[in-house]
Structure 1
Amino acid sequence: MAAPALNNRAGSVSSLGNSPTATPGPTSNKLPLPSYPEIDFRSGARIDELNRLISEFSKHEQREYDDQRALEIHTAKDFIFSMLGMVQKLDQKLPVANEYLLLSGGVREGVVDMDVDELVAYVRGADYDMDFTLLVPALKLHDRNQPVTLDMRQSALGHTWLSLRLFDEGTINRWKECCVGAEPEAGPEGATGHFFSPTRVSEWFHEAVGSVLQELRHRPQRGMPRVEKAERGGAVTSIVLAAGGSRVLYDVVPVVSFKGWPAVAQAWLMENHFWDGKITEEEVIGGFYLLPACSAAGRREAEWRLSFARSEVQLKKCIPSGLMQAYQACKALAAKLLVRPEAVGPYHLRSLMLWACDRLPPAYLAQEGNSAHFLLGLLDDLQHCLVNRACPNYFIPQRNMLAHLSEAAAVLHARRLSSVRSDPAEHLRGAIEHARTASRLPPEQPCLPSPQDGPPAADPAPDDRLAKKLQQLVTENPGKSISVFINPDDVTRPHFRIDDKFF
């Protein structure tokens, strides 16, 4: 009777050994399976290779500048701020003690939420070597007792009209030529004129900057940067300065500056966020702006867009470096494919990065070895947004930033993005080569002092110290803001702040 039992057991063993899903028992003599490197299922790319490519790309994007280059950056910055002081003196429209927000990266890089269709297509390396966005308040509404009327009833979510009807007579007289009246069918019920016009403000600002630049050309001073380009694209005035061997692009945008926080974004504060406990709520809600940017169906000459650029600068402190590197690489990969027709820009990708920080565990995001996973995830998120034609704004989630996108355009961009996702390594190599080419700057020239510096001092130590500070700013604080306080009657003294650091 024992034989049948033995035969059955043997049959069971044989059946187990032939099963494709069987797991060998502890007594199996089979050799262990070889360990394979981690591989991306979709593209077949090795994760460690993607990590290496992302790291190499970051080194080219965040290249260090020597003391001379840092001083040239300062020379260009000094020229821009002095020029704005002259604009204020021109007709006294700009606030006397103004506070500017200087952001690393131009409008084309998605630093602020603005459409770039009307901007001239400048290329890093060919037209400029480094770029900045400068927000210049035309109105600075920081007094809590100052009456402000934001009327959002006639605008898309996240947009508003700004009435000067309740402002003092002096403000209205200064800006009445930059205001429009509300048509009965377009404006709020009972509304009259004095709606601050983003298009007219931008036109005035560009003309004022042009007049000052023309005056400076007629009386050049030793060491003054050369203005290579000064062009208007929509609401943005783009200025390319040549200072020594550096070409610096400034995208200058007239804005309205507010202290505090708008009611339309109040619900966002009630949610849990990745920055909780890392920075204070007071730092996040210190202020917001109105940008001269209209919604797809809004009235162009009256509608402004709410911007939280000041808050984004604070939040960037809490974003892990590995995710930030992946974001920069992803932005470079998507930039060439998603440009024309314009539908998705770098700012959409920035919003997806912030949402990912809220969604994913902090310990996971803090692992720098996950940069490849972050890159692939951002590409997947962006494709998901295109397919569904939905990309919620981080601060106002009810605002869909892709609401205007047609189904045909969404499919076109999703297909383009699919080609990147199917071979990210090859596209990264192309981005690295482009960054490497762009970093091949022209031969350095002797850096002359800025026009405000006066005759060269015998002791160059102060300039050396300033250059080292600026080098630290550029290399160690990418993307941080500089708040500049300008006295038009004394532009020789710098008064600027880099986040919480004073210089």
Structure 2
Amino acid sequence: MTSSARPLTNVDFCSGSRMEELNKLMEELERRESSALQGRDLRESCQQAMKYVFSLIEQLHPLPSPNSLLVLQGGLCSGSLDVSPVDLGSTSPLSCPPISYTILVPILRLPSPTLLHQTSPCHYRVPVSLWDPPHPQLSSSPPFVSPYNVSVWFTPSLLSAVSSCPIPAPPHLCQEGAEPWGNCTSLLFSNSSDVFLRFDVVPVVEVRGWPAGVQYLEDWVDEEQGPPRLFHLLPWGAEGQWRVSFPGVELFMRRCLHPALSRVLRASVSVLRPFLQGSDAPGPYVIWVTLLHACERLPKGFLCQGHNAASCFLGLLEELSFYFLRGSCPNPFLPGCDLLSGISRGPYLAHRVSEVRAQPVTHLREAVKEAKEANKGGERDEKEETEQREEERGSSCSPS
């Protein structure tokens, strides 16, 4: 009598990968990347650097007051904003460490989008008449102020503040560089443990309300706990236009993601970012949008099961490959906007994503390895902090 073997229902048909191994690798990647800020010295360095950058921004004039800033974890090309390498015009002028932030600085706050001139569902023009009093370098501008017009005074002003404002004394923080990057500015610091911290500072226009034709965003707004009804105009758009973006709402949405989906997003960005940041590529933001499209059609019960993270990861890769082949990825919030419009390397990108899909374990292992190397400094700080606590406990004594 022969006994039938137990069916292997946890094996991916296309790659032969075991779902259990994929889940473990994604969990390890999440643990490695999340541990980057665990060391006490590193946390203090980040706080000190952020306060310093805030003090630099306070020196820029004229800016709306009070000037609250939106801070996003991850640099410009981390996928938190709708930005591609084409928008920035060149590769990053400074190194891109794993610990990085993007700071959105409102140079203008508007009570309603009706004050703007909408040229498409995803683009606006900003009238120069909205600046009151007008900035000296904008007074001679055409009727509409382009992102480049703004960068002409914003970037030099920020760099001038950097050169005139003393950095906090070593060994806490060291300024490594400050360079313009497209219409924004990048600042690089290091701490006493030779860990690098990067801040990308982006001038934006903040607008109360929603653009015409917006969808789904109202479902996420809560007067008490949710984000306010406002959107931002990013300094990237054809022919002097500004691009519509919802970073405040999306930040809230990311925080509400089930841990399994957050793990899928992190893993997808880690394995796909290298070629999504190449020339004529859309940037990693398209991964986030693809996940949102999947959340619209998949049952919540499936998405909230931790063991389904591997299936979601593989499905996300397949969906991305399909989008690139089709050359279209609709914006989930703005009907009529397409993230892949004008991208000419769709078939190439689809092929690269398919390569990852064919060997997901190999690419996840490589991402885990890179995370280990990148976080050695943070792990060392955490270990030293633990040893110090144990030593303090061991040296305590009671009177005899």
Aligned with residue 108 of structure 2, among 139, 145, 159:
139
Report sequence identity in percent. Answer: 29
Residues 1:378 and 2:342 aligned together:
no
Aligned with residue 429 of structure 1, among 365, 371, 379:
365
CA gap 1:398/1:221 in 2 versus in 1, 3 angstroms: closer
8 Å contact 1:93–1:175 — kept in the other structure?
no
For 1:202 and 1:196, how far apart are their aligned partners in 2?
11
For 1:337 and 1:344, how far apart are their aligned partners in 2?
10
CA gap 1:322/1:119 in 2 versus in 1, 3 angstroms: farther
TM-score normalized by structure 1?
Answer: 0.70
Aligned to 1:236: 184
Aligned with residue 135 of structure 2, among 164, 174, 189:
174
Which whole-Å deviations, capped at 9, do the CAs of 1:182-208 have from their partners, x for residues lacking one?
xxxxxxxxxxx2x12211212211100
Which whole-Å deviations, capped at 9, do the CAs of 1:111-162 have from their partners, x for residues lacking one?
1112224353478xx65341000000001224x6xx9532123xx4301101
Letter in 1 for 2:183: A
Aligned with residue 394 of structure 1, among 326, 332, 344:
332
8 Å contact 1:239–1:249 — kept in the other structure?
yes
Letter in 1 for 2:274: K
For 1:338 and 1:262, how far apart are their aligned partners in 2?
28
8 Å contact 2:59–2:161 — kept in the other structure?
yes
Aligned to 2:236: 293
Q: Following superposition of structure 1 onto structure 2, how do residues 199-218 of structure 1 map, counting pairs within 5 Å?
A: 199-217=148-166
Residues 1:347 and 2:318 aligned together:
no
Report which of the two structures shows the higher radius of gyration computed on alpha carbons.
Answer: 1
CA gap 1:128/1:339 in 2 versus in 1, 3 angstroms: closer
Aligned residues: 376
Cα drift, residue 38 of structure 1? 1.0
TM-score normalized by structure 2?
Answer: 0.87
Aligned to 2:15: 43
Letter in 1 for 2:40: D
Aligned to 1:247: 196
1:283 counterpart SS class: coil
Aligned to 2:386: none
Cα drift, residue 179 of structure 1? 6.3
8 Å contact 1:390–1:400 — kept in the other structure?
yes
Residues 1:316 and 2:254 aligned together:
yes
For 1:150 and 1:388, how far apart are their aligned partners in 2?
33
Which whole-Å deviations, capped at 9, do the CAs of 1:241-275 have from their partners, x for residues lacking one?
1233332100100001112222231x4458xx6x5
8 Å contact 2:93–2:179 — kept in the other structure?
no
Cα drift, residue 232 of structure 1? 1.1
Residues 1:225 and 2:168 aligned together:
no
8 Å contact 1:284–1:311 — kept in the other structure?
yes
Cα drift, residue 281 of structure 1? 9.9
Cα drift, residue 404 of structure 1? 0.6
CA gap 1:127/1:78 in 2 versus in 1, 3 angstroms: same
For 1:110 and 1:119, how far apart are their aligned partners in 2?
17
Letter in 1 for 2:163: Q
CA gap 1:200/1:334 in 2 versus in 1, 3 angstroms: same
Q: Following superposition of structure 1 onto structure 2, how do residues 61-460 of structure 1 map, counting pairs within 5 Å?
A: 61-63=33-35, 64-87=37-60, 92-117=61-86, 118-121=89-92, 127-142=96-111, 149-153=115-119, 156-165=120-129, 167=130, 170-171=132-133, 173-174=134-135, 177=138, 180-181=141-142, 193=143, 195-217=144-166, 222-223=169-170, 225-245=173-193, 246-265=195-214, 267-268=215-216, 283-284=226-227, 286-294=229-237, 298-299=238-239, 302-406=240-344, 409-441=345-377
Q: Which runs of 5+ in 1 are unaligned?
A: 1-28, 182-192, 445-503
CA gap 1:109/1:227 in 2 versus in 1, 3 angstroms: same
For 1:178 and 1:52, how far apart are their aligned partners in 2?
58
Letter in 1 for 2:192: G
2:102 counterpart SS class: strand
Cα drift, residue 417 of structure 1? 1.3
| Greater helix fraction, Structure 1 or Structure 2 | 2
For 2:313 and 2:319, how far apart are their aligned partners in 1?
10
8 Å contact 2:275–2:281 — kept in the other structure?
no
For 1:370 and 1:379, how far apart are their aligned partners in 2?
14
8 Å contact 1:179–1:200 — kept in the other structure?
no
For 2:223 and 2:62, how far apart are their aligned partners in 1?
34
For 1:227 and 1:73, how far apart are their aligned partners in 2?
13
Letter in 1 for 2:340: L
For 2:140 and 2:33, how far apart are their aligned partners in 1?
42
Aligned to 1:457: none
For 1:293 and 1:365, how far apart are their aligned partners in 2?
33
CA gap 1:391/1:212 in 2 versus in 1, 3 angstroms: same
For 1:40 and 1:30, how far apart are their aligned partners in 2?
27
Cα drift, residue 84 of structure 1? 1.1
Which whole-Å deviations, capped at 9, do the CAs of 1:70-124 have from their partners, x for residues lacking one?
111111011011111122xxxx31123101000111111021112224353478x
8 Å contact 1:179–1:196 — kept in the other structure?
no
For 1:130 and 1:370, how far apart are their aligned partners in 2?
29
Letter in 2 for 1:208: S
8 Å contact 1:333–1:427 — kept in the other structure?
yes
Letter in 1 for 2:174: R
1:38 counterpart SS class: coil
Cα drift, residue 405 of structure 1? 1.9
Which whole-Å deviations, capped at 9, do the CAs of 1:448-470 have from their partners, x for residues lacking one?
xxxxxxxxxxxxxxxxxxxxxxx
CA gap 1:303/1:175 in 2 versus in 1, 3 angstroms: farther
8 Å contact 1:129–1:441 — kept in the other structure?
no
Letter in 1 for 2:241: E
